[in-house]
Structure 1
């Protein structure tokens, strides 16, 4: 299971919402082996006065928070972050300096979906990758 929050300036993020979502999902399918139908993305659009960025960032500054069930190796998590940086730059024109990514892991028992705890659910994909 992976849930993604995408934060950015409304006038920059909203027009390319679908492309951003497709890029993220392609990365999690490739690196984490997530199925095509497991996309859970939420967009948070801000006006400039409500989204302050560190120095040296452009209006493309984007923050990704990716919540995952614990179990992926450090190398897998690093590969996902690298792939996101690469594809955001090559497909969306968002430079690595303008992208911040946080992976947030939580034990399966802390998740609830389809009426079950995450540690009780039968998943169609592997977590231990």
Structure 2
């Protein structure tokens, strides 16, 4: 919820700024900027940041991290990108992916990981 709130908050801020700067007839442009902001921040946070630090802000605050279910190692950038794409498609179709299945990383307590 922390990460989703961060991504959504950035999109709402982008929409507010876009609505204040753009003329009213360009409201669809402001909406497109907000959606693009949400997607870009979500992608960067859940792929780039997680591939480097193995956590997102929300996971870090809660003492969690992600590992590969197959061998307990850190997920690769490519695997995180694949999971983000699958998660986005699942979001569009209102289908929640299952943690630890289909290559999705497991979320575990950081203190339990010994790498």
TM-score bracket for the superposition, by shorter chain length: 0.3 to 0.5
Task: Name the structure with the higher strand share.
Answer: 1
Which structure would you say has the larger RCO, counting Cα contacts within 8 Å and 6 or more residues apart?
1
TM-score by length of 2: 0.32
Task: Name the structure with the higher helix share.
Answer: 2
TM-score by length of 1: 0.30
